[in-house]
Every structure is written in C-alpha cells, then in structure tokens.
Structure 1
Amino acid sequence: MMKIVDRRAANRQRTHEAILSAAQELVRERRQADFSFEELATRADVSRRTVFNHFPTRDDLTLALCNDILAAVIEDFRRCAMEVPVGDSSRDNYFDAIFTALAATDLPGAIRTIVRILPENETDERVSAIMHQALTLLDGVIRSETMRRLPGTDEFQVDLFVSALVNGLATASEHWLKCGVEIDQASDDDWQPYFHAVITQLRHGHLTPAPPSTS
C-alpha cells in the first residue's frame, strides 16, 4: 500500500513540475504571464481541471513561480555564504559575509522577473504585497546563516534583523521599480544605491548588544 501511495505522490509531483515548467516557458516567450489556464493546460499536456487541482487560483500559480525564481537566489546566497570564512564571529565579519553573499546573487534580476509575471493591471499595493510575500522566502536561509556565524545570539535579535533585512529589500525593490525606467531596462547599477542604503541602515542599527537591565 505504501508503494502505491509513494507512486501517486511521485506522479503528482511530476505533474506539478510539468505545469510549473510550462508556465515558465510561457513567461519567457511572452515576457509576461498573460496566458490563460487553458493555454497552460495545453502547454503542459494536462487537462484544465488538473491545472486547477494543483493551482486553484491565479495567485497560487503566481506565488509558485515566485518561489522558483527566488530558489536560485537562495541557492546562490547559500553557496556564496559558505565560501566566506566564518572568521572570529564578530559582528563586522558577520555583516561583511551576509552582505557579500547577497550582493553576489542576482536579486535584481529575480525582482524584475517577478514583476514581469504579474498582471499589468495589478495595483501598486498588490504588487507590493506579492513582492513582500515572495521575498520572505529569504527568511529561513538568512536566519540559518546568522545563527551559524553568530552562535548564541539572542533569537529575538536575530528575528528582528532578518525581518528588517527582508522588508528593507522589499521596500528598496519598490522604490527601484518606481525610478522611471522600463522593467526590461532596469539597470543593476540603479539597484545598487537602494541595496547599499538597506545595508548601511541595518549595519548600524541591528544586532547590537541589548542595554543592561536597570531593574
């Protein structure tokens, strides 16, 4: 019985991946996600009902695509972070390692792709919400790297920093995308001032020792 269940799970996973792969192909071809679920079903060689079984709403599909886009960023971050020596576990070394690893990823490219897959009639508030939700996928890997490099650091302080970093990146992406350039022409050079502003703000205001209790 277990083998039957495993086989069904494997088949479902293959179908899920086939639908996502088809969606990615359509996005690359059209430079946006303006395809219907019928078109997606045809490209994936499945029924329309099967598509809805895996992605009941358009938002479900959009977030799944965002997950895939950011998976590459997460993997690049993890790989780059492992290449930077832990050093003396000082705060300065930690920030150098985290920001060096982030800078080595193609985060601006991922942001451009995420925006491209959103419907053109999305409101700024909706785009902002989706961007924030997508970037929270970075939470886990940054938190793990923080605990690895700064063992014994108070978990509340770590959570505050990770939350501030991810939300800072989301806010930076919003302002970057509003700087007056077309999404396909948005320059990584234009992204750098926003990225470095987040870094500077966080570097001087987070993961500092808590003040001694006066009680």
Structure 2
Amino acid sequence: MIPEPPPADRRAALRQRHRRAIVDAAAALLDERNGAPFTVDELAARADVARRTVFNHFSSVDDVVAEVGARVLGEVAADFGASAAAPRDDERDGSLFDELAELLRATDLVAPMAYLTRVLGSEGCAEPSPRVTAMVARTFTDLSERLVVGLSRRHPEADLLDVQLLVASFMSGIMVVHRHWWEATGAADDAASREVWSGLLDHLVERARHGHAAPSDRTS
C-alpha cells in the first residue's frame, strides 16, 4: 500500500492547485473580455474557489493579472535562459556581446507583447498604459536574470559584473525600443510590426556596439 503524503505536502499541493486555478480563470476572463476589468467575486466564481482563497494568494486583481502576464512571457524567458546556457559552439565562438545580440534577434517578443496589449485593454491606445509598462518591465527583469545566469554558466571565465552590466544595458534599451515599437505599430502582431521591431532592435544593437555619438555626428 502506497503511504499517504504528509499533511504539509497535501496542503502545499492544494495551494498550488488553487493558485493555478485562479490564474487560469483570470486568463480566461481576460481573453473573453478583451482586457475589460473583472471583480474578485467573478474571479473566485470562475476559479471555483472562495473569495478569501483569492486573497490568500494575491493582494489584488491586478496582481493576478500580473501573474497571467508573467506566465505568458515566462515561456519566452525560459527559452531565452535555456538558449543562453546552451553549450558553446567552438566554431561560432564569439563575444558575449555578439551572443546576446543574436539571442535577442532570435527571440519572438512581438507575439507575447501584442497579446498583453490586447488582454490588458490597451489595444488601439497611442502609447502603453502604466499597467502595460509595469508588466513589460517585470518581464524584462525576469529575462535579464535568466540571461545573466545562463551566460555566466556558458562563460565561467567572464567577470560576473561585466555580464550583469552588458545584460542590463541591453534590457534597458529594449524597454525604450518597446515604446517606440508601440507608437509606430499600435502593438500589432503582423509582418509590418515585426519589421519595425527588427529594425529598432538592429538600431539598439548598433548603438550598443559603437557607442552613442552626439546628434551632430550622426549626419556627418
């Protein structure tokens, strides 16, 4: 006879199940309502949990929505980190800078960012709302942490501070690029939008590689 798990394990499993149900319910409500707000009571009813259970896991509905966004982009972050930590190919051994630039170019950020725009109710807005900006910042922070860990494992000889500074400079630039992309495309997910994103990303890489000349020098 298989022994029953201890009570602590059962409680942990129940908490995990409740949290997943709440986040799943929030994602479904966001999809159905195109980002329109919903109440804690509506969320609890959809998740089939008590209102108190929602607050046992999250302090507000916005925190639940943030968790949805983190989950949507979490897969991207996980892929990003895994790529950064993949074994090095000696035949294509380049600098940390080149590897990071290649990773950014190869990662599809347009699709998840466009999804967040829709479910957070910002579709058609001229610029990102504070809610979207906070969500993107949270996601890029997660990406940064995973990149630092992955690249440090792949390049144990590299100074950790140098890796952190390199990643931080790129991800700060990505935040700026995200805003310009939004203003140019409305955060759409189509061929034109992806072309704009690619061009802005190339611009970021070149500026990071060669430095930032004074405005008068750019036309000379």
Equivalent in 188, 191, 197 of residue 191 of structure 1: 197
Q: Percent identity?
A: 35
Query: CA offsets per residue over residues 105-155 of structure 1, 9 Å max, x none?
Result: 321112222233335599744543332122101122210222133322222
**135, 138, 144: which one aligns with 1:133:** 138
Task: Tell me if the contact between 1:74 and 1:141 (Cα under 8 Å) persists in the aligned partners.
Answer: yes
- Using CA pairs below 8 Å that are at least 6 residues apart, which structure has the higher relative contact order? 2
Q: CA RMSD in A?
A: 2.9
Superposition map of 1:13-92 within 5 A: 13-81=16-84, 85-87=88-90, 92=94
* 2:14 aligned to which of 8, 11, 15: 11
Q: Normalising by structure 2, report the TM-score.
A: 0.78
Q: Distance in 2 between matches of 1:131 and 1:159?
A: 19
Cα pair distance change 1:27/1:125, threshold 3 Å: closer
TM-score (norm 1): 0.79
Q: Which ranges in structure 2 are unaligned for 5 or more consecutive residues?
A: 212-220
Q: 2:162 aligns with which of 146, 157, 163?
A: 157
CA distance in 2, matches of 1:160, 1:189: 28
Of 179, 184, 198, the match for 1:179: 184
- 5+ residue gaps, structure 1, are 206-215
TM-superposition CA deviations, 1:55-101 (whole Å, max 9, x none): 111331122112101211022224444567342796x3433433333
Distance 1:159 1:62, change over 3 A: same
CA distance in 1, matches of 2:33, 2:209: 40
1:27–1:33: 8 Å Cα contact kept in structure 2? Answer: yes
SS at match of 1:179: helix
Residue 111 of structure 2 aligns to which amino acid in structure 1?
G
Q: Partner letter of residue 115 of structure 1?
A: T
Of 84, 107, 110, the match for 2:109: 107
Change (3 A) 1:61 1:188: same
Residues 77, 143 of structure 2: 8 Å contact kept = yes
Deviation at 1:14, TM superposition (A): 0.6
Q: Is the 8 A contact 2:152 2:158 kept in 1?
A: yes
CA distance in 2, matches of 1:182, 1:78: 25
Amino acid across the alignment from 1:170: M
Structure 2 Cα separation of the partners of residues 85 and 158 of structure 1: 16
Q: How many residues align?
A: 203
Distance across 2 between alignment mates of 1:87 and 1:94: 13
More displaced, 34-43 or 156-165? 34-43
